[in-house]
Amino acid sequence: MKPVALLVALAPLLATAAQEPSLKHWLTTFGSSFNNLTDCSSCQTLVGDLKDVADFGESFLVEVLGDLCSETGAEPSDVCVGIMARGGPSTYHSLKNMKLGSHTANTFCANLFQYCEPDARPYDLSFPSPKPSTSRPPPSGQPPIEVVHFSDTHVDLSYETGSNWNCSKPICCRSYTKEDAPGNTSHPAGPWGNTNCDPPQRLHEDMLDAIADMNPAFSIYTGDVAAHDYWLVDKAEVLRNFNHTYEPIEKTLGIVYSALGNHDSAPAFQFPSDDINVPSQYNPQWAYEALAKDWFALTGIISVKSAREHGSYSAIHPDSNNKLRIISYNSILYYKNNFWAYTEPIEFDPDDQLHWLINELQEAEDENQRVWLISHIPTGNSDHFRDHSHYLDRIIQRYEATIAALFFGHTHKDEFQVSYSASNFTDRNWDTATAMGYIAPSLTPTSGSPSFRVYQIDPVTYGVMDYTQYIANISDPSYQTKPKWTPYYSAKENYGSKLSPPVAADDTGVELTPAFWHNVTEAMENDPSVFQDYWNKRTRGFDVSTCVGSCASNEICGLRGADTSNSCYQAPHDPGAMFSKRDEAGPVSLSSESFQEPECDHSEAASLFAKMAHRVRLMKRNGKLNF
């Protein structure tokens, strides 16, 4: 070997040798700064440390964070490496530009560790016309139409019947190793899915058949096509997933309105706005364009009014006499794990989407239409940037008479959120409740049985008169032979009787208004059994944790928290204490009253920080921190 070739061959080794002490140094520093994380100022210290590492370059940041992830056992090391390779570039970009103590840094700390919660920055949305004095139209009294809502399908194309469902990765039922393969494992997965796994393709198709049997007027699908293998996923896999999910939808169902999920690109979760200059391999335009093709095919192209190909569109429902406008917007621009979004300063209106939304709503108001807003991440969810939650709320308040309802997914759970005209937290009441956001549970069975929902819709006002939640009970012994899709509960029947005055299940003239749902939250406050019933249904009876005291009041507050500025979210004492079941089974028992993080959050890039912090603290307490 020539000397030059030898040097080239040795270069990686030499480089590693040169960096070894500093890697160790950084692990020690982070061990200490994660362990010190108790308030906003210690979070700023941590941001400073992260920035210092970023100063050595992107690959060094990726290496240090990857090592920290492995060393703390936050995830298996291949998962750590995969997450950092994918989330590293956007994390690096943000940290490089972030100013300590800025609104961006505070938002970063708040989203990742629940410290430094900043108020939303004022932003003048400038509406084209003043708010009219009109209010929600009363129900028409016409017989309702049925609309189906399904969400978070996450089909895993590598799902294998007979493979190990009890693996060490974030999702199982794949042959990661020979030991996981069918025939070699003592935990073989059934053909129709498992609560530790994303669904097999056949479950998705079976659900679509069950929906088609109901012959709905149309359907909505609030996104998340790709599986949870976010440490492995690439563009080719996402495109294959789009095809395998949308082709059967097209074949089986009529008109479907869809929304973009945080998993619907690669790298997962990373959706830079047009104004951020990213290397072309991180531009999600290919995903937007592929989805736009599928989406427009499903709406009957004629009805699409405004196709932005930025994960959003607006359509006039063809059978509505020009009376129903459906607006699907891209909530991932405001997603806490979208690291490109931590710009300095944070963009007020990435991709000008808010202004597009205002124009669409104004047009709808002018044309006397009703609007459904559909999107993936609920505006009030803790995964949502607070600034944009507040801006969206201002838009919703301005157009409250036009917006019939909002529809979301993302949490995998059966939840809802109420919006209020009152800016004063304490004035949120039935007569200030202005808008209702329905959060439909998932097909994916990792936090409850596979499900979809059927709404009864007023064919004139497009208000929600009732809904019936359907599930295929995954705990039922016959499930693995063939899932049975059965009604689980109906909203009016289940909650109406608990109100005073009660709303009768057969009172078909009553809309499920925002006031109705506010009254449900009051019934929860007045009678713990009403809350417990909701809490059980939230996960379809699966893995129900105890939720009383501050856990219950936080959850009720969350239901009233469509604007997260109004949220009563309280920081857990231990950052990351809200992490997964697997983590909680660890050596230190964690507070049972810790706030539940959304399912989708589990160990994804941003949450990985909180998880590492949590693990560091566990190790420290157990005397196992050896770096």
> Closer CB to ligand NAG, residue 298 or residue 316?
298
What's the rounded Cα separation, in Å, for the pair 301 and 293? 10
Q: Does 515 bind ligand NAG (CB under 6 A)?
A: yes
Q: How far is the CB of 559 from ligand NAG (least distance, A)?
A: 15
Among 58, 352, 476, 533, binds ligand NAG (CB under 6 A): 476
Q: Which residues pair with 437 in a beta bridge?
A: 406, 417
> Closer CB to ligand NAG, residue 286 or residue 348?
286
Q: How far is the CB of 542 from ligand NAG (least distance, A)?
A: 9
> Closer CB to ligand NAG, residue 137 or residue 541?
541
DSSP state of 297: H
Q: Does 183 bind ligand NAG (CB under 6 A)?
A: yes
Residue type, 95: L
Q: Does 557 bind ligand NAG (CB under 6 A)?
A: no
Residue type, 406: L
Q: Does 243 bind ligand NAG (CB under 6 A)?
A: yes
Q: How far is the CB of 39 from ligand NAG (least distance, A)?
A: 11
Q: How far is the CB of 235 from ligand NAG (least distance, A)?
A: 9
When CB distances to ligand NAG are compared, the closest residue is 181
Q: In 98-185, where does DSSP find H-type helix?
A: 103-113
CA–CA distance from 221 to each of 14, 15, 64 (Å)?
52, 49, 39
**Span of 27-35, 110-118, 225-233, 384-392 interacting with ligand NAG by CB under 6 A:** 27-35
What's the rounded Cα separation, in Å, for the pair 579 and 590? 10
> Closer CB to ligand NAG, residue 357 or residue 530?
530
CA–CA distance from 396 to each of 3, 312, 362, 465 (Å)?
69, 17, 12, 20
> Closer CB to ligand NAG, residue 165 or residue 334?
165
Site string for ligand NAG, 526-545 (x = CB under 6 A): --------------xx----
Q: How far is the CB of 194 from ligand NAG (least distance, A)?
A: 11
Helix (H), strand (E) at residue 384: none
Helix (H), strand (E) at residue 405: strand 403-408
Peptide bond into 284 cis (omega under 30): no
DSSP 559-578: HT-SSGGG------SSTTTT
> Closer CB to ligand NAG, residue 85 or residue 239?
239
> Closer CB to ligand NAG, residue 89 or residue 193?
193
Q: Does 119 bind ligand NAG (CB under 6 A)?
A: no
- Cβ neighbours for 500, distance < 8 A, ≥ 6 positions apart: 523
Residue 45 phi/psi, 5° resolution? -60, -45
Q: How far is the CB of 243 from ligand NAG (least distance, A)?
A: 4
Q: Does 240 bind ligand NAG (CB under 6 A)?
A: yes
Helix (DSSP H) and strand (DSSP E) numbers for the chain: 16, 13
Among 401, 499, 505, 544, binds ligand NAG (CB under 6 A): 499
Q: How far is the CB of 491 from ligand NAG (least distance, A)?
A: 13
> Closer CB to ligand NAG, residue 322 or residue 475?
475
Take residue 51 and report the two structure tokens written for it: 């920035």
* Number of residues in contact with ligand NAG under rule CB under 6 A: 29
Residue type, 336: K
Peptide bond into 267 cis (omega under 30): yes
Among 129, 424, 589, 626, binds ligand NAG (CB under 6 A): 424
CA–CA distance from 207 to each of 213, 265, 565 (Å)?
10, 24, 37
Q: Does 166 bind ligand NAG (CB under 6 A)?
A: yes
How buried is residue 601: exposed, middle or buried, by Cβ count under 10 Å (0-12/13-18/19+)?
A: buried
Q: Does 508 bind ligand NAG (CB under 6 A)?
A: no
Q: How far is the CB of 572 from ligand NAG (least distance, A)?
A: 20
CB neighbourhood size of 9 (10 A) = 10
What's the rounded Cα separation, in Å, for the pair 339 and 341? 5
Q: Does 239 bind ligand NAG (CB under 6 A)?
A: yes
Take residue 576 and report the two structure tokens written for it: 């990351």
Q: How far is the CB of 207 from ligand NAG (least distance, A)?
A: 17
Binding site for ligand NAG (CB under 6 A): 29, 32-33, 36, 45, 166, 178, 181, 183-184, 239-240, 243, 424, 426-427, 430, 473, 475-476, 488, 499, 503, 513, 515-516, 519, 540-541
